[in-house]
């Protein structure tokens, strides 16, 4: 480990390891205070950021934040690194890399930015994000192109997709169906119709999969379904012939945290292979879906790095993207405010984390979405989520998550409503995924300007969908 020193205002600050340098350079958040790794003052943070800016990017190939021999995520990062993709920026420092990204973004060079993904490690992009203001994160994210597809195409420029989340506290089929129809009639669901089941039983998972598949099939909706059960439950559903479009799993940035989730890299590979065998895609073959969130490793006491030192939660979040990237996902999203104020205390921290996560995920080659959400005991409100949603739309976010009325009655947290997605699209001039947009037109749900309109008597196809849901 190399001790790095920086002097600011006549005071010398010491950072005994890369782990501590990264942590101290991180913008303030409650989770790092809880972990005991946050900068103790703004001056210490600036000193760490100054040293980080002068650190060669190649350092992250030589020094690890989590031990290679003890952590399979670190081994995945190191062993799959693409030296050829890294070559265009291999000689740069972190600060120079930041400047190069902003330069490319300013001239709209998407190919230069997007082509770097296989050559970047999570620690590289996390370090770079720590030197960026919110506008920088937005500018680069907007110019980073990641396109994926299964039955709809996601990540195209000028598009903002949404996950329709029809959760119900008892998985009641009528309640779930009503929420699905409500979302479809408001133009949501092009990313996925994804349900958090109230229980993790294989039987209930299969029942929900069959319910959503029946709706998609009957009305020929170009989207995919997902029941967000544990990957082992999905494997059992696959064995029983269930209509599985996407394999879902929450993942984290250390082997210990993933062990806490009950998953391994081999298990994820097995489930992905099973879903690929079904060949359910029509326009693509991405069959995995991952959720992440800052603070997940810390909440499992699985956040330790080299020498037992706590790794900051944003760096660990970026490491979870290496896990997701390995399995070529259709969708990845961070649940940015779901874990609680212990990790992201207020609206300012939630907004910052959402933009960081989106930037880091996109730069690493992920189809990045965000669950713009918060728990009711956090210092966050609807104005904060409005702000983050519009900023993410400007940043080229692949998708957001929406529930009826913005109140998830099963998970007991606040998210976006279907109308919030429509507002973001209208304000920013964005549209749904192309296949789904064409379906909305066939259902007479778009006006002359391509905006989703209210249900009217001259929309018989949409009215038939509504009638089927209430019959």
Digit-coded pLDDT (tens) for 38-69: 999 999 999 999 999 999 999 999 999 999 99
Q: Give the span between the Cα atoms of 53 and 39, in whole angstroms.
A: 16
Q: What is the 3-state secondary structure (H, E, C) of 225-284?
A: EEECCCHHHHHHHHHCCCCCCCEEEECCCCHHHHHHCCCCHHHHHHHHHHHHHHCCCCCC
Q: Give the span between the Cα atoms of 315 and 126, in whole angstroms.
A: 5
pTM of the full structure: 0.96
Token code pair at residue 395: 């940043």
Binding-site residue ranges: 163-165, 196-197, 249, 291, 299, 371, 410
pLDDT band at 14 (very low <50, low <70, confident <90, very high): very high
Helix (H) or strand (E) holding 122: helix 122-129
Nearest to 339 by CA among 389, 402, 295: 295
Report whether 181 contacts 399 (CB < 8 A): no
Binding-site residue ranges for substrate: 163-165, 196, 291, 371
Report whether 216 contacts 240 (CB < 8 A): no
Give the single-character DSSP code of 309: P
Q: Give the span between the Cα atoms of 307 and 310, in whole angstroms.
A: 9
Binding-site residue ranges for adenosylcob(III)alamin: 197, 249, 299, 410
Q: Where are the alpha helices (DSSP H) in 143-200?
A: 173-185
389-412, pLDDT tens digit by residue? 999 999 999 999 999 999 998 888
Residue 338 is predicted with a pLDDT of: 85
Helix crossing, 347-363 with 382-394: angle to 10°?
20
Q: Name every residue whose Cβ is closer than 8 Å to that of residue 103 and which is 6 or more positions away in sequence.
A: none
171 in helix, strand or coil? coil
**Which residue bears the tokens 């895609």?**
281
Phi first, then psi, for residue 237 (nearest 5°) are -65, -40
Helix crossing, 265-278 with 231-239: angle to 10°?
40
199-211, pLDDT tens digit by residue? 989 999 999 999 9
414-459, pLDDT tens digit by residue? 999 999 999 999 999 999 999 999 999 999 999 888 899 888 777 8
- Positive or negative, the CA dihedral 147, 150, 154, 156 is positive
Report whether 305 contacts 66 (CB < 8 A): yes
Q: What is the mean pLDDT of the chain?
A: 96
Q: Give the span between the Cα atoms of 166 and 195, in whole angstroms.
A: 6
Q: How many CA atoms lie within 13 A of 252 on its CB side?
A: 24
Phi first, then psi, for residue 194 (nearest 5°) are -120, 120
24 in helix, strand or coil? helix
299-328, pLDDT tens digit by residue? 999 999 999 999 999 999 999 999 999 999
Residue 464 is predicted with a pLDDT of: 83
């Amino acid at each position: 480990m190399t001790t790095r020193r920086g002097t600011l205002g006549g005071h010398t600050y010491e950072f005994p390891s890369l782990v501590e340098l990264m942590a101290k350079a991180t913008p303030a958040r409650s989770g790092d205070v809880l972990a005991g790794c946050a900068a103790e003052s703004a001056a210490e943070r600036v000193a760490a950021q100054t040293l980080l800016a002068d650190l060669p990017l190649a350092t992250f190939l030589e020094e690890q934040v989590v031990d290679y021999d003890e952590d399979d995520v670190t081994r995945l990062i190191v062993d799959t690194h693409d030296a050829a993709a890294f070559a265009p920026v291999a000689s740069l420092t972190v600060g120079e890399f930041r400047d190069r990204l902003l330069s490319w973004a300013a001239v709209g060079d998407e190919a230069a930015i997007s082509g770097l993904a296989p050559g970047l490690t999570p620690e590289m992009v996390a370090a770079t994000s720590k030197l960026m203001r919110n506008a920088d994160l937005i500018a680069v994210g907007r110019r980073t192109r990641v396109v994926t597809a299964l039955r709809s195409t996601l990540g195209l420029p000028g598009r903002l997709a949404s996950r329709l989340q029809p959760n119900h506290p008892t998985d009641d089929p009528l309640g779930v169906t009503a929420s699905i129809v409500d979302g479809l009639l408001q133009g949501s669901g092009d990313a996925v119709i994804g349900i958090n089941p109230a229980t993790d039983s294989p039987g209930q998972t299969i029942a929900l999969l069959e319910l959503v598949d029946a709706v998609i099939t009957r009305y020929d909706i170009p989207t995919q379904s997902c029941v967000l059960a544990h990957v082992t439950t999905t494997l059992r559903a696959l064995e029983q012939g269930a209509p599985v479009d996407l394999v879902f799993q929450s993942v984290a940035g250390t082997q210990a945290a993933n062990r806490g989730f009950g998953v391994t890299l081999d298990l994820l590979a097995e489930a992905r292979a099973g879903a690929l065998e079904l060949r359910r895609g029509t326009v693509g073959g991405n069959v995995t879906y991952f959720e992440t969130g800052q603070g997940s490793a810390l909440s499992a006491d699985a956040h330790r790095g080299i020498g037992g030192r706590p790794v900051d939660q944003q760096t660990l979040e970026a490491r979870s993207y290496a896990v997701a990237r390995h399995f070529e996902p259709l969708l990845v999203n961070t649940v940015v405010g779901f874990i609680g104020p212990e990790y992201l205390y207020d609206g300012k921290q939630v907004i910052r984390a959402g933009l960081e996560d989106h930037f880091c995920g996109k730069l690493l080659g992920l189809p990045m979405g965000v669950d713009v959400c918060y728990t009711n005991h956090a210092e966050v409100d609807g104005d904060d989520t409005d702000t983050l949603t519009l900023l993410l739309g400007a940043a080229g976010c692949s998708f957001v998550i929406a529930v009826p009325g913005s109140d998830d009655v099963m998970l007991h947290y606040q998210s976006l409503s279907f109308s919030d997605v429509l507002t973001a699209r209208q304000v920013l001039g964005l549209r749904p995924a192309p296949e789904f947009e064409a379906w909305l037109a066939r259902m007479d749900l778009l006006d002359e300007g391509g905006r989703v309109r209210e249900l009217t008597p001259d929309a018989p196809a949409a009215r038939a969908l509504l009638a089927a849901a209430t019959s």
